[in-house]
A and B are shown apart, each in its own frame.
Chain A
Amino acid sequence: MNLNPIVLDLAVLALGLVLLLLEAFNEEKEKPFFGWLSIGGIAIVFVLSFFASQQIFVGSSQLAQFYKADALAIFYKRLALGTTLLVLIMALEFRPILSSYLPAARKNAGLGEFFALPVFTCLGLMWMASAADFVMIFVSLELVTISFYVLVSYMRRSSASLEAGVKYLILGALSTGFFVYGITWIFGITGQTNLLAISDALRVLAPASHTAALFGLGLLLIGLGFKIAAAPFQLWVPDVYQGAPTPITALLSVGSKAAGFVVLWRVIEPFLQTPAFAPKLQLILVGLAVLSLIYGNIAALPQSNMKRLLAYSSIAHAGYLLVAIASWKSGQAPVTFSFYLAGYFLMTLLAFLVLIVVNQSTGGDDIANFNGLGQRSPVLALGMTISMLSLAGVPFTVGFLGKFFIFFDAVKTGQWLLVGVGIVTVAAGFYYYLKVLRAMYWNVAKNPSPIVVSPLTRATIGVLIALIFVLGVYPAPVLEMLK
Chain B
Amino acid sequence: MSPILFWIFSALMLGFGAATILNRNPVASALSLVVSFLGLAALFFGLDANFIGVIQILVYAGAVMVLFIFIIMLLDLKAEQRRQINIPALLGGVAIVVAFTAQLVTVIRSYKAGNEPFAAITPNLPDAHNIGMTLFANYNLPFQVIGVLILVASIGVVVLSQRELK
Task: Enumerate chain A interface residues (CB-CB to B < 8 A).
Answer: 13, 20, 27, 62-63, 65-67, 102-106, 109-110, 113, 116-117, 120, 123, 127, 133, 135-136, 138-140, 142-143, 146-147, 149-150, 153-154, 156, 189, 206, 208-209, 211-212, 215
Contacts and interface: CB of A to CB of B under 8 A. Distances in A.
A146 B164 CA distance: 22
Contacts of B166: 27, 105-106, 109
A37 to B, nearest CB: 17
B155 interface: yes
B141 A62 contact: yes
A97 B114 CA distance: 56
Interface string B138-166: 11111001101101110110011011111
A136 B107 CA distance: 27
A395 to B, nearest CB: 43
A105 B166 CA distance: 5
26 contacts: A13-B148, A20-B155, A62-B141, A66-B141, A66-B142, A102-B165, A103-B162, A104-B164, A105-B165, A109-B166, A117-B155, A117-B156, A120-B148, A120-B151, A133-B142, A139-B145, A146-B149, A149-B156, A150-B152, A150-B153, A150-B159, A150-B160, A189-B113, A208-B113, A211-B107, A211-B111
Given A117-B152, A154-B159, A67 B141 contact: yes
A143 B145 contact: yes
B156 A147 contact: yes
Contacts of A106: 166
Contacts of A212: 107-108, 110-111, 114
A116 B107 CA distance: 45
A20 B148 CA distance: 12
Contacts of B83: none
B103 interface: yes
A146 B152 contact: yes
Contacts, number: 93
A135 B149 contact: no
Given A110-B165, A150-B160, A143 B152 contact: yes
Majority-rule SS of B interface residues = helix
A211 B110 contact: yes
A9 to B, nearest CB: 10
A35 B153 CA distance: 21
Given A136-B142, A143-B152, A212-B107, 19 more contacts: A20-B155, A63-B141, A65-B141, A66-B142, A102-B165, A103-B163, A104-B164, A105-B165, A109-B165, A116-B155, A135-B142, A143-B148, A150-B153, A150-B156, A153-B160, A154-B160, A209-B112, A211-B106, A215-B107
A149 B154 CA distance: 12
B113 A209 contact: yes
A209 B112 CA distance: 7
Given A139-B146, A212-B110, A103 B164 contact: yes
A143 B146 CA distance: 8
A426 B82 CA distance: 46
Q: 9 closest Cβ contacts across the A-B interface? A: A150-B156, A110-B165, A109-B165, A105-B164, A62-B141, A212-B111, A139-B145, A215-B107, A208-B112
Contact of A142 (B140, B149, B160): B149
Contacts of B146: 139
Contact of B155 (A103, A113, A142): A113
A27 B166 CA distance: 8
B13 to A, nearest CB: 16
Contacts of B103: 215
Contacts of B156: 117, 146-147, 149-150
Interface string B97-135: 000000110111011111000000000000000000000
Nearest to A162: B160
A67 B139 CA distance: 12
Contacts of B104: 215
Nearest to A99: B165
Contacts of B111: 208-209, 211-212
A144 to B, nearest CB: 9
A153 B140 CA distance: 32
B165 A147 contact: no
A139 B149 contact: yes
A147 B152 CA distance: 6
A116 B145 CA distance: 17
Contacts of B138: 65
Contact of B165 (A104, A133, A215): A104
Given A156-B160, A212-B111, A215-B107, A143 B141 contact: no
A16 to B, nearest CB: 8
B129 to A, nearest CB: 20
Given A211-B107, A211-B111, A212-B107, A113 B159 contact: yes
